[in-house]
Amino acid sequence: MRDPPGRLHEGRRRLARRECRPDAPRSGEPAGDHSMRARSFSHVGITVRNFNAAVHFYWDVFGCPLVGVADQPPERVKSFFGVGADVDAPSCKVGWIRVPGGGVIEIFEFQPQQPPVEIPWNRIGITHIALNIRGIHRWHDYLTSKGVECVSPPEQSPRGHWFFFAKDMDGNLIEMMDLGWMYHVLGWLGLLGGWIFRRGMYRKYYE
């Protein structure tokens, strides 16, 4: 049975209004601030000692290409980043390194620089980045052959996936993670799982 013309035209008008308001909540979504959702993970930022060395490392070791470069003017380095207030011409070179899957590592080389410091696990803030891989033991052997410092052997977590930690050219921790079959499950059912857990076993963490 076909819809009456009036109802069909009204449906088209509602669709047109929605296309003009892409931020409007969809049917079944809560209104207000809860309708705002992040689209995806964008990037992580890392300050590096040497821009070219960082580009070479992530391309040579992981096959991640440099897809953009921008040099910041001295006044912006001072005003936006708060770096080099006591020097005439501070500099900052920014680069974007694309990781397979769409994520980006944003690298910054500043002049003047501050020396790196060891970051303990219990300090509030970012401790490491992680890359999804396949073949945990082959990757451990490969990184070792490339001269990359691996700080732990491959081990299996209580949840079943395998991982180990390595360091980049400046000592930043990189977790190499082989999720196995869970990689596909998280990709296919991650959103559904989040919806279920938020209303069930993980509800207390949202309160």
pLDDT tens digits, one per residue of 69-109: 999 999 999 999 999 988 999 999 999 999 998 899 999 99
Long-range contacts of 163-168 (CB under 8 A, 24+ apart): 163/136, 164/136, 164/140, 165/128, 168/46, 168/54, 168/57, 168/58
Q: In terms of domains, do 139 and 193 share one? A: yes
Q: How far apart are CA 4 and CA 76, in angstroms?
A: 61
How big is the CA angle at 152 (ends 149 and 154), to the nearest 5 degrees?
115
Q: How far apart are CA 26 and CA 12, in angstroms?
A: 16
3-state secondary structure of 62: helix
- What's this model's pTM, rounded to 2 decimal places? 0.77
- Domain annotation covers residue 75: yes
Domain termination site, one of 115, 137, 159:
115
Q: In terms of domains, do 127 and 180 share one? A: yes
CATH number for the domain that contains residue 170: 3.10.180.10
Its domain, for residue 123, covers 119-201
Q: What is the residue type of 151?
A: V
Give the residue from 3, 27, 93, 105 showing the smallest Cα distance to 64.
105
Q: How many domains does the chain have?
A: 2
Q: In terms of domains, do 151 and 167 share one? A: yes
Q: In terms of domains, do 136 and 157 share one? A: yes
Instruction: Select, from the ranges 30-34, 53-57, 158-162, 183-187, the one with the highest average predicted confidence (pLDDT).
Output: 53-57
Q: In terms of domains, do 100 and 126 share one? A: no
- Domain annotation covers residue 144: yes
**Cβ partners under 8 Å of residue 161, min gap 6:** 177, 178, 179, 180, 182
- Domain annotation covers residue 140: yes
For the chain, strand residue ranges (E) read 43-47, 66-72, 91-98, 104-111, 129-132, 155-156, 162-167, 173-178
Domain termination site, one of 87, 115, 143:
115
Q: In terms of domains, do 126 and 197 share one? A: yes
Q: What pLDDT digit, counting tens, does each position of 106-152 carry?
A: 999 999 999 988 889 999 999 999 999 999 999 999 999 999 999 99
- Domain annotation covers residue 101: yes
Q: How far apart are CA 143 and CA 164, in angstroms?
A: 11
Domain termination site, one of 90, 115, 140:
115
Q: In terms of domains, do 128 and 102 share one? A: no
